[in-house]
Structure 1
Amino acid sequence: MKTKYKAWIGIVAFACISISSCKKEKFVELNTDPSLLDKITPEQQFMNASIRMNNERSEWYYDNVRGIMPWMQMATPLTGNGVSFVTESGNLKNTRYNMFYPGIGASFTDVLHIISQMSAEEQAKRVHQVAIASIVKAYYAFYVSDINGSIAYNEAFQGKYGGTFTPKYDTQEVLFDVLDTQLKDAILKLTSTPEAGQTSLGAQDLFFKGSSSKWVKTANAIRLRMAMRLMKRNPTKMTTRVQEVLATPANLMVDNTDSWTFEANSNIADGGDWSVLSIRAPRPVVDFMYTNADPRIRFFYQPNYFSQANFDAAKAQGKIASNAVYDAKRYYGVATSPDASAAPDFAKFFNSVTINVTQANGLPGTLVLDTLSNLQPKLFAAGENSGTGVNFFPMVTYADFCFMRAELAARAITGESAKDWYDKGVTASIMMYDDMANRAKIVDRENKSNYVAATPSEITAYLAKPSVVYNPAKGIDQIACQAYLHFFKQPSEAWALYKRTGYPNATSVLPLEKLIAQGTEQVIPRRAALPFPTVSNLNYQNIIDAYNDMKKDPDFGQGPSDIFGRVWWDKK
């Protein structure tokens, strides 16, 4: 089952990335010298900023692979989680914050400023461009605030235009209101009849080629995501916003072609910090997916090396016992609890067998047969080992939208069918990863293509499994666990889901392990460590004031650097 959506963007993005790389120095100059802004078009600056949102490898490596994914049991290092893996994950660099200031936030501000300096006639032609740039800027501000709390926004990015270089911080509560208003305003601009014909962003919109209807759907999905962050703080306001969003069905996502996903050629993620070659699959998730015949298991993970042929060769060469019985199960994950992975009954899985083989060039060689599964590297870095597939960076997808609607229905916030939206979400997720795996050109451990398309019958069978078939008595648990699986490529959203709902956990339908290290259960971090400014920092006082204000909340923790403290929306 293949969903051919936005295939064009891989080619376009590759071209744009090449252009962007060649002009990196000029891009930096343009972001610091306002006198040069008349030398770049709003379309070019929108494209440059869009690329920068997704091409930062250090965010992937430090914040996701070394931080969020181990915390959320989405992956482990090669030999499992170490006893201090939670505190070591204090290496989470909070890259999104450093990318927003001054880069991404300033770049989208530039787009808006460039247009504001045009003639009234030209401004009238770029109402849609202003709306689209505002949507992306609002989303990224939300993404930054999500793990940081208060941030500078209303007064930020204005210094080079005559504004302040010392912007005050907006509380997360205020910011969420401001961003929701901006998204509503953008939707209104895009759905109203403009006074003049609109100048499209065209190919320099690497997401939707300037499609107003697609951007309206994305903005509404972002509004829904933001509204659900209010669930523990202001459920009344959340319900009002949810009802507003869902009131106009024509402005809502309807299938995977509406997903907001950045796609690019293999060059943008070609190994290095993008690589998951040495990242293991997690036992709890692998076992759940294998037991329930989830088609996504072959898209997420590589099977181990013990094919029937390799097993037979190992037996013939005396490397394993002659009476050994072949195990057809080739997906085994690593115990995510440090103590469990070090226990003797599991430690044996780390043992490997080396067999003699004939290499592709006809010369003799050896092959190490590993019993454990790794993450599928080309799904995360299509350029790994000279791959030529497509890279995917999902931000807000149709499946995500379906799961949000399913949860809202299950909580009786809407009158919709939770089961219908749950089934749609699972189906859309499987279809999305099927398409990603196909176009990323996934391979097995011996570098041979192993993409096998998901079929309608597989999806139907999966939805009928006892642990998967929708049961209203445990509906929110099931919805959250399926959303968690779907966020395989969006670890930050899996983390947010856990913080908001408490799922998945050790007793959920997808049971995670209790993370025990040297007999002590580990606590999962809740936010980024906030850097303490030096006295020489131009905005020192505003930063300190913001921290002091956040510290008034007893959930904030022991101080700015406390990763176990909470931001405003993450109320206990």
Structure 2
Amino acid sequence: MKRYYKKSMWAIAAVVLLGASACTKNFEVYNQDNTGINPDDLKGDYNDLGALMTAQRSIINFSGGGDPNSYQLQQNLNADCYSGYFMSPTPFNGGQNNLSYSLMNGWNGEPFKVGMLNIMGSVNRLRNTNVNEEFPAVWAVAQIVKVTGISRVTDIYGPIPYSKVGTSKTSIAYDSQEDIYKSFFLELDTATANLRNQINGVTPALPFAFSRFDLVYDGDFTRWLQYANSLRLRLAMHIVKAAPELAKEQAEKALDPANGGVITTNDGAMRVKVSGSGFSNPLVFIATNWADIRIGASIVSYMNGYQDPRMSRYFDRSTDTTFPVRYQGIRIGSVGGSVTKNDYVTYSNLNVSGATPSFTLTTPVQIMTAAEVYFLRAEAALRGWANAGGSVQTLYEQGINVSMQQWGVNAGTYITDNTRVPEAFTDPKNSANNAPSPSAVTVRWDDAATQAVKMERIITQKWIAMFPEGQEAWTEYRRTGYPKLFPVVNNFSGGVISSTTQIRRLPFTQNEYQTNAAEVQQAITLLKGPDNGATRLWWDVAE
């Protein structure tokens, strides 16, 4: 038991640290070793676990012991920009890259590697230590972390290996996205039941302080239960067009108060702490140390147009001396050709300067906010689902208010404003990038509006409140079409990806084509479309 206890504690630490999902560049090919863990690393005394945790932080995308370039390719140079939140001032590959729809093989594989090697591999290793039977509440956290991380991977590619990962060292079968989502809900059933048993004293108290290994909720299983229910609600809403009855069933289960509740306050938000010497928030690292990312035109258009009081907490003003100081975004796909980094690096950055910056190298990595959950509940109420816990308007306005509280600003008359709209975009360096206002939607709720306008209001305000978490924002844009985003200026997809519909997914990885070719071909069949950036995912139903 002593030897098992040491092993399980190390594995717990490894899995809980995966909340932000990340990768290191020094990995074994996952088809050959889907854990990436050396069994010798599991040896040692309990008192050495802190050192082991530090040594293993290279498997998450915090800079220092990890590799910020992983996060840059995993999310920042795709979903963060496709969501309308960001754009790079750096003309990678002369501007012909993923941000102008010239999808680069060397970039497209990072989310897959993260999911297969670091998330699935570590969770499988944890299960092999028998934690699921000895400490079911700890296993519940591992399951929730896995669903969190892998849901983001399938929402990038569609079909991915899931049920068969860990069963072979050669070929690994892909699952359809529909089957993966159904597995998510079953895993959340098990996880939430185990958490309720732990909370209610049905399961004995843990013989160790789980808080030592929990970078999210400091060992608070009630918070993990609320997050799990909120995650179920998020995933249910993803599939509302593809599987409306299942979506309704799962959303109502998530919202049923008897199941433990959802996140309602900002201290319940899912954020992974940056802990330990030498580790950094990867988005802030890329923005400050490399200056490879700046604010996107779409988010500035909306927030400037609405005179949103969160702007000063989200962004810094431009530092360019050739035009008046202001909040200035970069339009996606506009950097390349003769453009240099110096042309756009002076546009608005994250709020990283001043006496009280919102973003520092130790800012926790945000996965889900309380505001997002209120907007999910508002949409559930709009759809007439049970257990939403309020009217559409009340939940919509609570979402805005709790976001304002999160950022420490006064909402003022923001919620009651029915005249301001997103502003047109002007690029002071190149008028060819200018664009008219993307939308006429205002902030104030109107029960007499059409269902489409009501949905646009909910999703637009949710999108503003989720900043800077671009992965979920991109998913919601693809699912709903909202908010209305500026299209790419230069589309180098060769006519494959529509500038109007915008990019829908990333292609499968070249490594998979080389090492798992037969299963990739089957995955393309499951995808029901060509393996390119224009093919819609299972839940991405065109209207």
Report the TM range for the smaller structure's normalisation.
0.7 to 0.9
The alpha carbon displacement at 1:351 in A equals 11
- What SS class does the counterpart of residue 513 from structure 1 fall into? coil
Bigger Cα displacement from structure 2, 279-288 vs 75-84: 75-84
1:331 paired residue among 327, 333, 337 = 327
Tell whether the 8 Å contact from 2:160 to 2:175 is kept in structure 1 after alignment: yes
The alpha carbon displacement at 1:480 in A equals 0.7
1:184 equivalent in alignment to 2:194 = no
1:546 paired residue among 512, 523, 529 = 523
- What SS class does the counterpart of residue 364 from structure 2 fall into? strand
* 5+ long unaligned stretches in structure 1: 1-11, 118-122, 311-319, 321-325, 353-369, 435-452, 506-511
Partner of residue 427, structure 1? 401
1:288 paired residue among 302, 327, 330 = 302
- What SS class does the counterpart of residue 375 from structure 1 fall into? coil
- What SS class does the counterpart of residue 304 from structure 1 fall into? coil
Q: Could you tell me how far apart the structure 1 residues matched to 2:538 and 2:327 are? A: 40
Partner of residue 513, structure 1? 486
Q: What whole-Å deviation, never above 9, does each CA across 1:90-142 have from its counterpart, x for those lacking one? A: 4643422101222221112222221359xxxxx54x12111111211222222
1:71 paired residue among 55, 74, 82 = 82
Amino acid at match of 1:503: Y
1:170 equivalent in alignment to 2:170 = no
The alpha carbon displacement at 1:251 in A equals 2.5
The alpha carbon displacement at 1:279 in A equals 3.7
Partner of residue 97, structure 1? 112
Partner of residue 367, structure 1? none
The alpha carbon displacement at 1:187 in A equals 0.5
Q: Could you tell me how far apart the structure 2 residues matched to 1:269 and 1:408 are? A: 33
Bigger Rg, which one:
1
The alpha carbon displacement at 1:477 in A equals 0.5
The alpha carbon displacement at 1:183 in A equals 0.7
1:411 paired residue among 359, 364, 383 = 383
Q: Could you tell me how far apart the structure 1 residues matched to 2:462 and 2:220 are? A: 27
Amino acid at match of 1:74: Y
Bigger Cα displacement from structure 2, 40-49 vs 467-476: 40-49
Amino acid at match of 1:285: I
Q: Following superposition of structure 1 onto structure 2, how do residues 513-532 of structure 1 map, counting pairs within 5 Å?
A: 513-517=486-490, 522-523=499-500, 524-532=502-510
The alpha carbon displacement at 1:494 in A equals 1.2
Q: Could you tell me how far apart the structure 2 residues matched to 1:267 and 1:104 are? A: 19
Amino acid at match of 1:403: F
Q: What whole-Å deviation, never above 9, does each CA across 1:191-247 have from its counterpart, x for those lacking one? A: 124342223422211111221101111111111111112111110110011111111
The verdict on how the C-alpha distance between 1:76 and 1:158 changes in structure 2, with shifts beyond 3 A counting, is same
Tell whether the 8 Å contact from 2:506 to 2:533 is kept in structure 1 after alignment: yes
Bigger Cα displacement from structure 2, 460-469 vs 541-550: 541-550
Partner of residue 52, structure 1? 59
1:210 paired residue among 202, 219, 228 = 219
Amino acid at match of 1:60: Y
Amino acid at match of 1:549: L
- What SS class does the counterpart of residue 489 from structure 1 fall into? coil
Q: What whole-Å deviation, never above 9, does each CA across 1:64-83 have from its counterpart, x for those lacking one? A: 44333443332333389968
The verdict on how the C-alpha distance between 1:141 and 1:388 changes in structure 2, with shifts beyond 3 A counting, is closer
2:350 paired residue among 371, 376, 382 = 376
Q: TM-score normalized by structure 1?
A: 0.69
Structure that is richer in strand per residue:
1
Partner of residue 4, structure 1? none
The alpha carbon displacement at 1:493 in A equals 1.0
Amino acid at match of 1:531: T
Partner of residue 256, structure 1? 266
The alpha carbon displacement at 1:568 in A equals 1.6
Cα-Cα RMSD: 4.2
Q: What whole-Å deviation, never above 9, does each CA across 1:158-193 have from its counterpart, x for those lacking one? A: 45xxxx654432211111111111111110111124
Q: Could you tell me how far apart the structure 2 residues matched to 1:376 and 1:34 are? A: 41
* 5+ long unaligned stretches in structure 2: 1-12, 28-32, 419-441
Partner of residue 470, structure 1? 445
Q: What whole-Å deviation, never above 9, does each CA across 1:289-323 have from its counterpart, x for those lacking one? A: 233221211122212348xxx9xxxxxxxxx9xxx
Q: Could you tell me how far apart the structure 2 residues matched to 1:396 and 1:528 are? A: 23
Tell whether the 8 Å contact from 1:59 to 1:94 is kept in structure 2 after alignment: no
Q: Could you tell me how far apart the structure 1 residues matched to 2:42 and 2:232 are? A: 31
The alpha carbon displacement at 1:422 in A equals 1.3
Q: Could you tell me how far apart the structure 1 residues matched to 2:459 and 2:395 are? A: 13
- What SS class does the counterpart of residue 208 from structure 1 fall into? coil
Q: Could you tell me how far apart the structure 1 residues matched to 2:60 and 2:342 are? A: 41
Tell whether the 8 Å contact from 1:61 to 1:274 is kept in structure 2 after alignment: no
Q: Following superposition of structure 1 onto structure 2, how do residues 133-144 of structure 1 map, counting pairs within 5 Å?
A: 133-144=142-153
Bigger Cα displacement from structure 2, 135-144 vs 76-85: 76-85
Partner of residue 482, structure 1? 461
Partner of residue 236, structure 1? 245
Tell whether the 8 Å contact from 2:264 to 2:373 is kept in structure 1 after alignment: no
Amino acid at match of 1:331: Y
1:499 paired residue among 478, 483, 488 = 478
Q: Could you tell me how far apart the structure 2 residues matched to 1:304 and 1:206 are? A: 34
The verdict on how the C-alpha distance between 1:516 and 1:36 changes in structure 2, with shifts beyond 3 A counting, is closer
The alpha carbon displacement at 1:535 in A equals 7.8
Q: Following superposition of structure 1 onto structure 2, how do residues 273-352 of structure 1 map, counting pairs within 5 Å?
A: 273=286, 275=288, 277=291, 279-305=293-319, 330-336=326-332, 338=334
The verdict on how the C-alpha distance between 1:498 and 1:110 changes in structure 2, with shifts beyond 3 A counting, is same
Tell whether the 8 Å contact from 1:525 to 1:564 is kept in structure 2 after alignment: yes
Q: What whole-Å deviation, never above 9, does each CA across 1:470-517 have from its counterpart, x for those lacking one? A: 223122101111121123221111110111001111xxxxxx434444
Partner of residue 365, structure 1? none
The verdict on how the C-alpha distance between 1:31 and 1:410 changes in structure 2, with shifts beyond 3 A counting, is same
Q: Percent identity?
A: 20
- What SS class does the counterpart of residue 152 from structure 1 fall into? coil
Partner of residue 434, structure 2? none
Q: Could you tell me how far apart the structure 2 residues matched to 1:383 and 1:332 are? A: 18
Tell whether the 8 Å contact from 2:294 to 2:345 is kept in structure 1 after alignment: no
Tell whether the 8 Å contact from 1:333 to 1:372 is kept in structure 2 after alignment: no
Q: Following superposition of structure 1 onto structure 2, how do residues 556-571 of structure 1 map, counting pairs within 5 Å?
A: 556=529, 558=530, 560=531, 562-571=532-541
Tell whether the 8 Å contact from 2:331 to 2:489 is kept in structure 1 after alignment: no
Tell whether the 8 Å contact from 2:317 to 2:348 is kept in structure 1 after alignment: yes
Q: Could you tell me how far apart the structure 1 residues matched to 2:194 and 2:306 are? A: 46
2:139 paired residue among 107, 114, 130 = 130
Q: What whole-Å deviation, never above 9, does each CA across 1:389-439 have from its counterpart, x for those lacking one? A: 53221112211111111112223334631111111212222333x2xxxxx
1:108 equivalent in alignment to 2:123 = yes
Tell whether the 8 Å contact from 1:533 to 1:543 is kept in structure 2 after alignment: no
Q: Could you tell me how far apart the structure 1 residues matched to 2:467 and 2:377 are? A: 20
2:280 paired residue among 268, 283, 288 = 268
